[in-house]
Amino acid sequence: MSTENLPGVPEEPIARRGMFGAADSGDTSGYGGLVVRRPPKLSSAKPYGGYFDEVADALERVAGDAYAGMVERVVVDRGELTIHVARERLVEVMRHLRDDLALRFELSLGVSGVHYPEETGAELRAVYHLCSITHNRRIRVEASCPAADPHIPSTVSVYPTHDWHERETYDFFGIVFDGHPALTRIEMPDDWEGHPQRKDYPLGGIPVQYRGATIPAPDQRRSYA
């Protein structure tokens, strides 16, 4: 399937084929014909609409002159507000979002990771979904780091429930959360090599390991016939 002459398909390198960027038989996902038909929305201009402007204005007010060094860009897409934050200022921004009376994002719904191998210098991202119970609002915060320097400050001191979430993101994506109280793998074995949810991780061919469990011989297994 060629991307030529398809309306709305951007030029390379944004247009790509295959789930996880796979280009050969290593793509076992069944999406070998997938084509990205639109470039990512890099930045949005005000007004954002709805309460998004109130959130952005309140954060800019409380941050003051430091705002420009904190927030790299703001993206509004598909009804969601995403604030891209410089990793060095992440903890400070999170405290503002949690504590300022006009913001009050007192609940975090978790931390997850994303891998964009084509974004040189920002290949890895940590994504935070925040909820304000006080104001009934939701936003998303993202901080990026290069794969060659996969360090992002831990936010456990602001949202204690990020403890296990950051461990899982480290386990699967290799993002090192500096300052985490005990950053160890949480699902893969301690001696596992690599990070399975990165897009450069091999698809298939890795034997399954069972920690502390045994598999009985076929003639000793329970029959459900």
Task: Give pTM, 2 decimals.
Answer: 0.77
Helices (H) and strands (E) in the chain, counts: 4, 7
The residues, any chain, with a CB within 8 Å of residue 114's CB and separated by 6 or more, are: 124, 125, 127, 173
Select the more confidently predicted residue: 174 or 12.
174
Q: Are 81 and 52 in contact (CB under 8 A)?
A: yes
CA gap 191, 209 in Å, rounded: 12
All structural domains of the chain: 10-39 (no CATH), 41-202 (3.30.460.80)
Can you tell me the mean pLDDT for 184-207? Answer: 85
Pairing of strands 107-115, 80-85: unpaired
In which band, very low, low, confident or very high, does the pLDDT at 22 lie, cut at 50, 70 and 90?
low
Can you tell me the mean pLDDT for 161-186? Answer: 97
pLDDT in tens, 36-63: 555 666 899 999 999 999 999 999 999 9
Can you tell me the mean pLDDT for 169-184? Answer: 97
Q: Are 79 and 57 in contact (CB under 8 A)?
A: no
pLDDT above 90 coverage of the chain, percent: 64
Beta bridge partners of 75: 82
Q: Are 70 and 80 in contact (CB under 8 A)?
A: no
